[in-house]
Amino acid sequence: MSASRSNTSSKAIVWSRGASSAATFVLMPYLPVWLLAEAGMSAASVALVAGIGILAIRAGGLFAIVLRRVIGQRALRGCYFGAALALAVLIGLRPLLFTQVLPLAALVAVFGVLLACANVSTKSALAEATLPAQRLDAFGHLNRFINAGAGLGAIAGSLLVSRQPLALAALALALLLVAALIALKADTSPASQMPAAAESAALPRAWLQLLSERFAFLILTSFLFVGAAQYFSCLPVYVRDTGAEPYIGYLFALNAAIIGLFQGQILKRVAAVRSGGAGPQLYRLSAALLSVSVLLLCLAPTAYWWMLFIALVVFTLSEALWAPLLDVWTAEIFAGRNLTSAYTLTSLVWGGMEALGGALSIRYAAAYAPGQVESIAVPVLVTAAVIVFSAFFAPMAFARIAGPAGQPAH
């Protein structure tokens, strides 16, 4: 692929991902609130639908390998068009679906799986198009667009959810069609298999050690996504009928603005730290910030709800560190493997943990009357505890693999 064609394709991939991020955040964070208010569903039913939606979006990339083999270069645009079709069905059959929990959950699952497959294809294509030393900047650029779309979508969703909730799905549908049209300019041919000779020649003991370290990387880092679920899935439920509820969209917008303004500077610092071999310290810092931000969510139903803006700033600084870092480490830790498979696996594990944490937290919080601190304290404390656990053990488990300056250590 020529340099100009690669640049055009990369821009199309990033812009389409930004549009799909906006579509996701217009609808998904507010879906539980919409269902609780309009559909009259029980807390358990809403938790089921929301949990399946989170799991599908985060872990549905498991099907990305199959889709890329079946429809090849059309995978990205096909996923966006398919997700748009799912939303069109939701709009058309809404009166029926809102009385049938399982069909609604199935439709939300299809929507989420198609978006997840598009997200995996985006990451693998971007990783394959860049050299290891350039990946941190590339994924940082992608992260800026994802967060910009999320912020704009969240603001639109917060304005619509209490006024015209059906417009949530309609706007998401329009944004997905835009993403699909932009993706027509992207070259997303199936990833080629990377040479695995080095691994094949390794001694069985070394291979088993590498396998155990990869497993530790997947599981321990997945606890960070339980923290992310507290914001992107649970926060609208935590603040319902409180003074913070009208400002939820602005919280997400603040997240996007900080990423857009400071992601580049943060990544420069990340590169400097990593080149000095201080990757574990960087990971611990991002996890510490995440745990502090999660604990601050307990202020949502109190007179100090405005401190959620401070919590969001702390969360965003954390996310700006670990989000691109984990994407880069995935390519390094799974060196010698097909990158589509690697990102599919990480999406499955991380998404599964985010879905589980988000669904359990929503079910616990929704069972309480709105505005009670007790509805937030338990999921928040448990989340902070597992993040601290990850901060302590994860760097020791996989620091040997992820070497300095973006080079694998094995």
More confident residue, 297 or 5: 297
Model pLDDT, residue 197: 39
Q: Is the pLDDT of residue 406 over 50?
A: no
Per-residue pLDDT band for 388 (boundaries 50, 70, 90) equals very high
Per-residue pLDDT band for 206 (boundaries 50, 70, 90) equals very low
Q: Is the pLDDT of residue 314 over 80?
A: yes
Per-residue pLDDT band for 274 (boundaries 50, 70, 90) equals low
Find the largest Cα–Cα distance for the chain. 63
Q: Is the pLDDT of residue 185 over 60?
A: yes
Mean pLDDT along residues 186-210: 46
Model pLDDT, residue 291: 96
Mean pLDDT along residues 41-63: 81
Model pLDDT, residue 37: 77
- Residue 297 and residue 311 in contact, taking contact as beta carbons nearer than 8 Å: yes
- Residue 278 and residue 180 in contact, taking contact as beta carbons nearer than 8 Å: no
DSSP secondary structure code for residue 234 in this structure? I
Of 331, 343, 337, 338, which Cα lies nearest the Cα of 403? 331
> If you average pLDDT over every residue of the chain, what do you get?
79
Distance of CA 315 to the CA centre of its chain: 14
Model pLDDT, residue 121: 80
Q: Is the pLDDT of residue 75 over 50?
A: yes
Mean pLDDT along residues 304-309: 90
What's the length of the chain? 410
Pairwise CA distance, residues 266 & 264, whole Å: 5
Q: Is the pLDDT of residue 3 over 60?
A: no
Mean pLDDT along residues 324-333: 79
What CATH topology corresponds to 3-185+203-405? Growth Hormone; Chain: A; (1.20.1250)
Per-residue pLDDT band for 194 (boundaries 50, 70, 90) equals very low
**25-29, 131-135, 379-383: range with highest mean pLDDT:** 379-383
| b/e sequence 75-89, b meaning 16+ C-beta within 10 Å | bbbbbbbbbbebbee
Mean pLDDT along residues 8-19: 82
Model pLDDT, residue 271: 61
3-state secondary structure of 408: strand
Tens digit of each residue's pLDDT (9 = 90 or more) over 138-178: 777 787 888 888 888 888 888 888 788 888 889 999 999 99
**Phi, psi at 190, each rounded to 5°:** -55, 140
Mean pLDDT along residues 99-108: 89
Name the percent of the chain lying above pLDDT 70. 78
Tens digit of each residue's pLDDT (9 = 90 or more) over 33-47: 888 877 777 888 888
Beta bridge partners of 402: 408
Model pLDDT, residue 7: 65
Model pLDDT, residue 193: 40
Name the percent of the chain lying above pLDDT 90. 20
Sequential DSSP letters for 20-62: HHHHHHHHGGGHHHHIIIII---HHHHHHHHHHHHHHHHHGGG
More confident residue, 372 or 362: 362
DSSP secondary structure code for residue 317 in this structure? H
Task: Provide the 10 A C-beta neighbour count for residue 404.
Answer: 13
